[in-house]
Structure 1
Amino acid sequence: MRSYRKTWTAALLATAVLAVTAACGGSGGGETADGKVKLRFSYWGSDARQKMTEEAIRKFEAKNPAIDVEGEFSDFPSYYETLSTKVAGGDAPDVITLEIRALREYADRGTLADLTGKVGTADLDAKVLTTGAIDGKQFAIPTGVNAYAVLANPGLVEEAGLELPDDSAWTWDDFVELCSTVTADSGGKVMGTQLAWNPAYLQIYAAQKGEKLYDGNKLGVSPQTMKDWWAITQKLISAKGSPDAAKSSEIYDNGIEQTLIGTNTGAMAMAWTNVLGTAAKVSGRPLELLRMPKLAGAATGGMFLQPAMFYTASATSEHPAEAAKFIDFMINDPEAGAVILSDRGLPASSKVLASVEGKLPEADRKAKAFVEEIRGELADPPAAPPKGSSDMENLIKRYSEEVVFERMSPDDVAQKFIAEANTMIAG
């Protein structure tokens, strides 16, 4: 199941950020008419996120009356196009929200400031913090964390006469069998699952095979691992544990409201843990989180924590100290945490998380308990992926469709996928 957001292309981003080297002078907010420092803060999201972010900004301004913060908000589909245009024109916001897949694209071209020692990080998980560091410089501070997991609707599983599995021990074969049985026992009214081609899923599976998704500026997965991974998808389709190839391709890009689990026509799905609350709301049914299935005999389950997003600062901001102060507030101040709650992932600061736990919605408390339960099993968070990887999900989907539509043999697809992926991320 996709991230429920449109993707943006590496080509567009690279073209825009390359131009930043030609931009002259400072960027950011400058000063207001009454002499206050003006910071510009870019972020994306829903109307609800905009409302809570503006409230957090007002609390920051109340504590820092000499600073005005101007939010530059957009929906996600237009966010990176707008941001990259501003950066290319030498008009970067002072504080910039980024995803991990965009981090290296911006950091490697000198767009971002080094925040080492400028933002308090003592209460952040040290391993998660490293995901915002490149070449020893802390370019990004994680807002909160997620894990890629299985969402399950226990009611639909029980209606098929089954029970949720022991997720500490279930295998990929168990997953396929459960999904196919749910479909069969419901008479096809409920599918076992919806196909997923997310890079996080491939990364988890590769780790179970002792491989990495990325090995520097090339893929770390072998052709055999790709074929074995696609075999799970092929088994799901042939056993009717998921929709067929045509339907799976058709619904892949749908928002959560139109997914199988969101419409109560699918019993399970793979997604980030922060999707739990929205999925439960739109489905109107209680949902559970499960560990990803595991290869029999694998030394690790391969699951990991990943920042939901990062706060970064422009390297050309005219007010770097104030920009860092604002980021520190958004990450570490309980007042900001009480407003934002888990909107940007479970708060990265352990102190902020503890202070807001009682205010979290039930689904977010469930996600927190799940992450705490599996924390000791998790692999180290992956570093920022190489430049060009921002389009990896589209590439995986395109080649996966070659497999499920049987237009090419898995052997040929694996070789062609790896070759094109390596070219895309070669830097």
Structure 2
Amino acid sequence: MKRFSMLVAGSAALACLGALLTGCGSGDSESGPTTLRYSWWGNAERADLMKQAIALFESRNPNIRITPSFQEYEAYWQKMATETAGGNAPDVLQMDFSYLREYADRGVLYDLKKQTGGNLVLDDLLPGFRGAGEVDGALYGVPVGGNTWSMYYNPALFARAGAPEPAAGWTWQDYRTSLARITEATDSYGGGNYTGIIYNLEVRLRQQGGQLFTADGKLGFSREQLAAFWTEGQELIRAGVVLPVEKALQIKPRSGFVDDLIASELGWDNFLVRYAAEVKTPLKLAPVPTDNPGQLGQYLKPAMLLSASSRTEHPDAAAKLISFLVNDPEVGRIFGGNRGLPATNAQRAAAQLQGPLAEVAAYEKSIADQLTKAPPAPPKGAGSVEATFVRISEELGYGRIPVAKAVDEFFAEAEQKLAS
């Protein structure tokens, strides 16, 4: 830490009052070592990997020292809420995409566009990640890794039923036909009830040119669109071709792939690591069905981002650390897929991915030209909206509520949560 006299430190503290949005300090031009506080969430394994990455950064930047801090996910956000409320945020912090807008709107985060092209290099980001950390024209986070929505399927079960494997260009009706054929010809259900997952609604909306949330933080779809989506789910339930909700809840936290209960599912592609451990026969990945050729509705979602505090006294050094952790090939080799598939080409090439993660990387590469720009960071309350969607979907699955009432309840609750 720079050595200030008590008088200078007191003056600096006074100068920082009211500077929440612009940050304090003129940069990192002073001589002497600089200390950055850096916080992230993760387990002991990630902490060990981070120690290696930090040591490498410090060896290449001898005038910058890092004070690390990490907690498990829930504890991390509890601590971050306390620190940011007290104006004591770390200089560099790991950010979840779902919290990005909330923290940006509170003035907690530094606009990294001020460092772009200098201390912060973004030229090597995969195209789908460019701009993913922007809010209202400012850059508040840089992705370090991510994933995309996808179709999982068990090729052995598809073959046993005589159903064609999912492929580019297949439609939602093609998928529903396969669900029925597999259920009829095997002891497995064709798949899970995809209408109970809000991200399947999102991908459907994006295929139609719509969105889940508007840029100003409201619901981006109509009651009629939701009613049609949930009605589709009711038809699948009545046909008996999707895993019943009671069985899905009974086996949690395991997926429907356990014991070949289902032959397919839609989810984030990095779940392949988890699913692969639950099945006896290998699973494959395929693009999401679409009724609009050329519009998969898929995008690269940041698994996590790196942000800087708006109150950091060392924005130059903070940007250097973020740039290093995102771009350096050796960091990519150290972490592999621990932070999600790396967000830059250089780190993906260096990550030495194996097994399911290598399959995920190959899959993303195969559809890279069809992935579109990520939506704006979700508004505050989006997580509660998703929880409401799941709860009401389960009520529909049990047959306890008609679609019309379910739609009314969802909109009433969701709009209230987004407005609060």
Q: Secondary structure at the match of 1:232?
A: helix
How far does residue 299 in structure 1 lie from its aligned partner after superposition?
Answer: 6.5
Aligned to 1:228: 228
Q: Given residue 290 of structure 1, which amino acid in structure 2 is its aligned partner?
A: A
Choose the corresponding residue for 1:276, options 272, 277, 281: 272
Aligned to 1:146: 147
How far does residue 329 in structure 1 lie from its aligned partner after superposition?
Answer: 0.8
Unaligned runs of 5+ in 1: 1-19, 28-34
Choose the corresponding residue for 2:375, options 359, 382, 388: 382
Aligned to 1:67: 64
In the aligned structure 2, how far is the partner of 1:209 from the partner of 1:390?
A: 23
In the aligned structure 1, how far is the partner of 2:183 from the partner of 2:43?
A: 34
Could you say if the C-alpha distance between residues 245 and 284 of structure 1 is closer, same or farther in structure 2, counting changes exceeding 3 Å? closer
Choose the corresponding residue for 2:261, options 260, 265, 271: 265
Equivalent pair of 1:154/1:163 in contact (CA under 8 Å): no
Equivalent pair of 1:150/1:269 in contact (CA under 8 Å): yes
Aligned to 2:204: 205
How large is the RMSD of aligned CA atoms in angstroms? 2.8
Q: Secondary structure at the match of 1:53?
A: helix
Equivalent pair of 2:128/2:299 in contact (CA under 8 Å): no
In the aligned structure 1, how far is the partner of 2:335 from the partner of 2:404?
A: 47
In the aligned structure 2, how far is the partner of 1:153 from the partner of 1:40?
A: 46
Q: Given residue 168 of structure 2, which amino acid in structure 1 is its aligned partner?
A: S
Q: Secondary structure at the match of 2:235?
A: helix
In the aligned structure 2, how far is the partner of 1:49 from the partner of 1:263?
A: 31
Aligned to 2:241: 241
Q: Secondary structure at the match of 1:210?
A: coil
Could you say if the C-alpha distance between residues 323 and 264 of structure 1 is closer, same or farther in structure 2, counting changes exceeding 3 Å? farther
How many residue pairs match? The answer is: 391
Q: Equivalences for 1:91-240 in 2 at 5 Å?
A: 91-116=88-113, 117=116, 118-158=119-159, 160-187=160-187, 190-196=188-194, 197-215=196-214, 216-240=216-240
What are the superposed Cα offsets for residues 123-155 of structure 1, whole Å, 9 maximum, x if unpaired?
114552212011221110011231101112223
Could you say if the C-alpha distance between residues 360 and 400 of structure 1 is closer, same or farther in structure 2, counting changes exceeding 3 Å? same
In the aligned structure 2, how far is the partner of 1:56 from the partner of 1:285?
A: 36
Aligned to 1:362: 355
In the aligned structure 2, how far is the partner of 1:22 from the partner of 1:329?
A: 27
Choose the corresponding residue for 1:78, options 46, 51, 75: 75
Equivalent pair of 1:23/1:89 in contact (CA under 8 Å): no
Q: Given residue 193 of structure 1, which amino acid in structure 2 is its aligned partner?
A: G
Equivalent pair of 1:195/1:248 in contact (CA under 8 Å): no
Q: Equivalences for 1:50-61 in 2 at 5 Å?
A: 50-61=47-58
Could you say if the C-alpha distance between residues 340 and 369 of structure 1 is closer, same or farther in structure 2, counting changes exceeding 3 Å? same
Aligned to 1:15: none
Aligned to 1:31: none
**Bigger-Rg structure (1/2):** 2
What are the superposed Cα offsets for residues 166-195 of structure 1, whole Å, 9 maximum, x if unpaired?
4223222332332343344333xx333233
How far does residue 52 in structure 1 lie from its aligned partner after superposition?
Answer: 2.0
Q: Secondary structure at the match of 2:36?
A: strand
Equivalent pair of 1:176/1:235 in contact (CA under 8 Å): no
With 168-177 and 128-137 compared, the bigger mean Cα shift is at 168-177
In the aligned structure 2, how far is the partner of 1:422 from the partner of 1:135?
A: 22
In the aligned structure 1, how far is the partner of 2:131 from the partner of 2:357?
A: 24
Q: Secondary structure at the match of 2:39?
A: strand
Q: Secondary structure at the match of 2:387?
A: helix
Equivalent pair of 2:20/2:107 in contact (CA under 8 Å): no
Equivalent pair of 1:304/1:379 in contact (CA under 8 Å): yes
Equivalent pair of 1:249/1:401 in contact (CA under 8 Å): no
Could you say if the C-alpha distance between residues 152 and 78 of structure 1 is closer, same or farther in structure 2, counting changes exceeding 3 Å? farther
How far does residue 282 in structure 1 lie from its aligned partner after superposition?
Answer: 4.3
In the aligned structure 1, how far is the partner of 2:185 from the partner of 2:43?
A: 38
Q: Given residue 212 of structure 1, which amino acid in structure 2 is its aligned partner?
A: Q
What are the superposed Cα offsets for residues 261-313 of structure 1, whole Å, 9 maximum, x if unpaired?
25543322222112222322443542211111223x56722122211211101
Equivalent pair of 2:255/2:275 in contact (CA under 8 Å): no
Could you say if the C-alpha distance between residues 135 and 173 of structure 1 is closer, same or farther in structure 2, counting changes exceeding 3 Å? same
How far does residue 224 in structure 1 lie from its aligned partner after superposition?
Answer: 1.9
Equivalent pair of 2:325/2:331 in contact (CA under 8 Å): yes
Q: Secondary structure at the match of 1:90?
A: coil
What are the superposed Cα offsets for residues 214-236 of structure 1, whole Å, 9 maximum, x if unpaired?
12321111222112221333233
Aligned to 2:10: none
Q: Given residue 148 of structure 1, which amino acid in structure 2 is its aligned partner?
A: W
Taking structure 2 as the reference length, the TM-score comes to 0.84
Could you say if the C-alpha distance between residues 156 and 166 of structure 1 is closer, same or farther in structure 2, counting changes exceeding 3 Å? closer
In the aligned structure 2, how far is the partner of 1:268 from the partner of 1:243?
A: 10
How far does residue 320 in structure 1 lie from its aligned partner after superposition?
Answer: 2.5
Equivalent pair of 2:132/2:376 in contact (CA under 8 Å): yes
Taking structure 1 as the reference length, the TM-score comes to 0.82
Equivalent pair of 2:128/2:300 in contact (CA under 8 Å): no
